[in-house]
Amino acid sequence: MASIARSSFRLRSVTRVPTARSISTTPHLRAAAKPFFADEPAGPKLATAIPGPKNKAATAELDKVFDVRSLNMLTDYSKSIGNYIADLDGNVLLDVYAQIASIPVGYNNPHLTKVAQSPEMTTSLINRPALGNFPSADWADILNTGILKVAPKGLNQVFTAMAGSDANETAYKAAFMYYRQLQRGGPEKEFTEEELQTTMNNQSPGSPQLSIMSFKSAFHGRLFGSLSTTRRDAQEEQRCLQETERLIKEWHNPVAAVVVEPIQSEGGDNHASPAFFRGLREITKRNNVLFIVDEVQTGVGATGKFWAHDHWNLETPPDMVTFSKKAQTAGYYYGNPALRPNKPYRQFNTWMGDPARALIFRGIIEEIERLNLVEHTAKTGEYLYSGLQRLAEKYPEHLQNLRGKGQGTFIAWDTPKRDEFLGKAKGVGVNIGGSGVSAVRLRPMLIFQQHHADILLESIEKIIKQL
């Protein structure tokens, strides 16, 4: 299999300076909208210092068998509800981190409970198929009414996977096979004996040196292939699309695909303009390079569109779009049938995803449609962003480079005392995460409403006052 190199250019970062409009003195209205979760708490509840004694004891127990150094908070999921996450000591926090941006419709969502207790779910759990060999009779229906119902425009097929990393890696594999197929002269061309022999030793031509081009500060996963396209480095600088094209033409290992996140999420919430992405699409098309959009973190509604790349108004769709997290299952969408490798079993593994999780995604989609949550999130995001702008004007030293305007609730800012900020958040009743080295990132669920935004804004101000 081809190895992966990567380019050294950087995605330009667009950070937005808060506008000077003085609206900070206008009292903001308490939203009176009906809560999506009737029995959600009215606000956070603090019972002990966090972590409390029960959490500390249980963590020590878990530490014996499982690495807990990344543990944030042991959770009592039976008491978590909607936007609120509960620990073992009776503390209940407004959760705007949501399992690293992967809970879309709230804890203990009643509709998902029904899905989880359905006969279809039982059979998916106890009769797990090798999906490439023995899919269930209703697999096409599950795909068509679920994963594919929300397929990005222009992409009507899917390869299913387990999580974001293997979704990206299988997309890279598809790109490499497609590239070699073009070189070889089409899908009907057989592998040469030399290819078959050399691939067993990881050598060319069977295992040619090909590249996936990725961007400075990108994050595409943590397995060996995906990790080589991940860069957790907060440095950013202006480079141009011309350099992308130059590198595609000149890079020593041919570039089979360019992979990009609509918003570099783990890298610190770095944004670029729709025009930048349209330019990237044009360059990849002009140079016969595939364009892979990694929507693992940005997908499924949080940016106020179902897919973040819906904001770009592309003339031609991406070649592949990868998904995971809020989808609760994973894979990549594609449209071009030639992206199916020319032989069976070249893109294959035992499970190829999990129908149980595909059913959950279908339930999530139903809930998003029922409550119109994408549009809702666009509106809540505007409200939240305005409130943050006011805070940024009031506390310019603590709330810098506010970004994510028009991107739903996918909002972040920089703050010089970031880790201290995050450390104090639980003490005021919110669970909140960071990204990159200096960003606070908001990743609320799609059921986050204006009254939650009010609580969040108040909480942020409380934290700032403690710094």
Name the nearest CA neighbour of 148 among 365, 351, 297, 304.
Answer: 365
> Judged by CB under 8 A, does residue 202 bind its own copies?
yes
Choosing from 20, 25, 38, 134, the residue that interacts with its own copies (CB under 8 A) is: 134
- Least separation in angstroms between residue 280's CB and its own copies is 22
> Judged by CB under 8 A, does residue 129 bind its own copies?
yes
Question: Edge-to-edge, what's the strand order for the sheet holding 255-260?
Answer: 157-161, 330-334, 320-323, 290-294, 255-260, 211-213
Name the nearest CA neighbour of 165 among 212, 219, 223, 211.
Answer: 223
> Judged by CB under 8 A, does residue 6 bind its own copies?
yes
Choosing from 208, 225, 268, 408, the residue that interacts with its own copies (CB under 8 A) is: 225
**Coil, helix or strand at residue 203:** coil
Q: Is 294 a catalytic residue?
A: yes
> Judged by CB under 8 A, does residue 437 bind its own copies?
no
Residues 6 or more apart whose CB falls under 8 angstroms from that of 79 comprise 86, 92
- Least separation in angstroms between residue 112's CB and its own copies is 4
Q: Which of the residues 36, 159, 176, 219 is marked catalytic?
A: 219
- Exposure b/e, 245-270, CB count within 10 A at least 16 = b: bebbeeeebbbbbbbbbbbbbbbbbb
Residue that is written with structure tokens 């890298």 in the block = 267
Q: Which of residues 52-81 bind its own copies (CB under 8 A)?
A: 58, 61-62, 64-67, 69-78, 80
Q: Which is nearer to its own copies, 111 or 278 (CB)?
A: 111
> Judged by CB under 8 A, does residue 279 bind its own copies?
no
Choosing from 24, 90, 187, 233, the residue that interacts with its own copies (CB under 8 A) is: 233
> Judged by CB under 8 A, does residue 347 bind its own copies?
yes
DSSP letter at 437 equals: T
> Judged by CB under 8 A, does residue 290 bind its own copies?
no
> Judged by CB under 8 A, does residue 349 bind its own copies?
yes
Query: Would you say 421 and 442 are in contact if contact means Cβ atoms under 8 Å apart?
Result: no
- Least separation in angstroms between residue 159's CB and its own copies is 7
Identify which range of 158-166, 241-249, 307-315, 400-408 contacts its own copies by CB under 8 A.
158-166
Angle at 106 between CA 101 and CA 111, to 5 degrees: 130
Terminal-residue alpha carbon distance, the chain: 51
> Judged by CB under 8 A, does residue 354 bind its own copies?
yes
Gap between the Cα atoms of 86 and 73, Å rounded: 9
> Judged by CB under 8 A, does residue 157 bind its own copies?
yes
Q: Is 325 a catalytic residue?
A: yes
Identify which range of 100-108, 305-313, 385-393, 436-444 contacts its own copies by CB under 8 A.
100-108
